[in-house]
């Protein structure tokens, strides 16, 4: 019920996130040894879809935090896991994902942010762009270039010199920030995993992130679809409800088909991940299909609403504005097609 207010005021959904942490939202797929519920990953993905339907800004903020938790689970050393994972999955420490830079988006190898050892500490310098949860988080899962190549770090958010909120078309409650590090001294233990392996870590973290973006896309599409169905039944034209017109019925049928197909693709990718099987291509397919179909469903929902779809009163345009990011964030549609095609050509 707060989703509209969060969007209009560009208000970080702190209370929503707090309540979801209390209910164990992020802990679902993590081991009980670290305070997790150890549930199958598809259950987390299904919950993410429901969250996306209710409030996309809340869903995205939690999804990015979840991606950071997954990075700690997969790549950090036992000491880091023990220190950070229980606090992260319980919500005591909220994380931001800091990979993209002004000159390095899809080209993640071209990092300009640097980290070098000096006096037993990492000296971090550089600017990060489009950092989700930036300025509102407790720590950053940061990627920077070291003498051995791109590397991953867990960095206290207080070490950042500044963070600047970026105004966006959609997902207005999910904070996206430019984050600047200037001679920031991070402990030597901040390094995650092996120095020089950061690019591989980022890729693998994004595989799971793409599945959650697909789930959020499916949820957004469902929210727009439900509004379109309701409006088509309530609105009359030429003496009968819009839903009596075959052209409207055709639109609704296509919209629901797209939603259900998206959900199945997302769940398949989630199932493969849960079984420990390769899912890179399936994650890219799910993200590509669900995000593009979501945008189409939201566009059709506006069309069914007619002029009211463009008006603020019915709030249907919010779903389109949120959906527009999903073909760009966590890897553009073009990059997804490249990943899928490479997998096809490489073969089994």
Question: Contacts for 102-105 with beta carbons within 8 Å, 24 or more apart?
Answer: 102/127, 102/129, 105/129, 105/130
CB neighbour list of residue 1: distance below 8 Å, 6 or more residues apart:
none
Instruction: Measure the CA–CA gap between 348 and 344, rounded to whole angstroms.
Output: 8
- Copy the structure tokens of residue 38: 């150890």
Per the structure block, which two tokens stand in for 5? 């207010």
For residue 330, indicate whether it is catalytic. Answer: yes
Nearest Cα neighbor of 29 from 11, 42, 19 is: 42
Say what the alpha-carbon torsion angle 282, 333, 325, 208 is, to the nearest 10 degrees. 20
Catalytic residue among 49, 178, 280, 330: 330
Is the alpha carbon torsion for 249, 48, 57, 23 positive or negative? positive
**Residues contacting residue 3 through CB under 8 Å, at least 6 positions apart:** 54, 55, 56, 57, 58, 318
Which H helix or E strand runs over 10? Answer: none
Closest CA to 65 of 48, 50, 40: 48
Residue 62 CA: distances (Å) to CA of 59, 88, 110, 213, 336: 5, 11, 27, 11, 23
Query: Which residues, in sequence order, are bridge partners of residue 143?
Result: 152
The strand ranges marked E within 158-244 are: 162-165, 176-187, 191-192, 236-237, 240-241
- Phi, psi (deg, nearest 5) at residue 37: -95, -15
- Measured between alpha carbons, how far is 72 from 39 in angstroms, rounded to an integer? 18
Task: Kindly state the helix (H) or strand (E) to which residue 331 belongs, with its residue range.
Answer: none
Instruction: Supply the residues annotated as catalytic.
Output: 330
């Amino acid at each position: 019920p707060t989703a509209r207010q969060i969007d209009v005021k560009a208000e970080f959904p702190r209370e929503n996130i707090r309540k979801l942490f209390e209910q164990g939202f992020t802990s679902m797929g993590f081991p009980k040894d670290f305070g997790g519920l150890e549930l199958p990953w598809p259950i987390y993905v299904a919950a993410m879809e429901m969250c996306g339907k209710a409030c996309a800004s809340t869903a995205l903020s939690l999804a990015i935090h979840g991606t950071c938790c997954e990075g700690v689970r997969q790549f950090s050393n036992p000491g880091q896991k023990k220190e950070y994972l229980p606090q992260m999955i319980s919500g005591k420490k909220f994380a931001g994902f800091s990979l993209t830079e002004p000159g390095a988006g899809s080209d993640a190898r071209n990092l300009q942010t640097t980290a070098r050892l000096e006096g037993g500490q990492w000296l971090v310098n550089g600017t990060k762009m489009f950092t989700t949860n930036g300025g509102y988080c407790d720590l950053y899962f940061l990627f920077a270039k070291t003498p051995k190549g791109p590397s991953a770090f867990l960095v206290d958010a207080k070490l950042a010199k500044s963070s600047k909120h970026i105004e966006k078309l959609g997902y207005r409650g999910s904070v996206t920030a430019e984050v600047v590090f200037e001679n920031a001294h991070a402990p030597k233990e901040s390094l995650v995993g092996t120095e020089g392996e950061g690019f591989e870590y980022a890729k693998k973290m994004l595989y799971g992130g793409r599945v959650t973006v697909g789930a959020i896309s499916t949820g957004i599409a469902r929210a727009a679809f439900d509004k379109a169905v309701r409006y088509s039944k309530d609105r009359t034209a030429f003496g009968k409800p819009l839903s009596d017109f075959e052209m409207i019925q055709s639109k609704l049928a296509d919209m629901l088909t797209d939603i259900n197909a998206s959900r199945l693709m997302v769940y398949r990718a989630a199932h493969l991940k849960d079984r420990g099987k390769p899912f890179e291509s399936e994650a890219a397919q799910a993200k590509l299909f669900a995000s593009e179909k979501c945008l189409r469903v939201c566009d059709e929902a506006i069309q069914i609403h007619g002029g009211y779809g463009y008006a603020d009163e019915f709030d249907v345009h919010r779903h389109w504005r949120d959906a527009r990011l999903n073909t760009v964030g966590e890897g553009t549609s073009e990059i997804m097609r490249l990943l899928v095609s490479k997998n096809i050509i490489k073969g089994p």
